[in-house]
Amino acid sequence: MKTTKSATRFVICVNNDEYPASLEMFKIYRVIPDKKAQADDDMRIIDESGEDYLFPADYFIPIDLPRTVVRVLNKSFMRTPASA
């Protein structure tokens, strides 16, 4: 099974101490590329509100996923609540 290192990245939340309403422990989140955030040791994440916000990078562990999983996750993130 091949994994992908595409521009779309995914991470797992391993700390939500300061953001329990925004982040769920051990959930997969999509990362939005943001070089400025990365330079500040932050990550831009699509959180539970469905919007992207900055969070400390050490709250997450990057993961490599099989291409088929990435495709399915990307499709699910593109759906709106009305079309789900």
Q: What is the CATH number of the domain that holds 48?
A: 2.30.30
48: which 2 tokens? 């539970």
pLDDT at residue number 42: 97
Residue 16: other Cβ atoms inside 10 A: 18
* Domain extent at residue 67: 9-78
**Residue 7 vs residue 63, higher pLDDT:** 63
Angle at 42 between CA 38 and CA 46, to 5 degrees: 105
Number of domains the chain contains: 1
Contact 19, 55 (CB under 8 A): yes
Asked if the structure places residue 29 within a domain, the reply is yes
Asked if the structure places residue 48 within a domain, the reply is yes
Give pTM, 2 decimals.
Answer: 0.77
pLDDT at residue number 76: 78
Q: Is the pLDDT of residue 6 over 90?
A: no
Asked if the structure places residue 4 within a domain, the reply is no
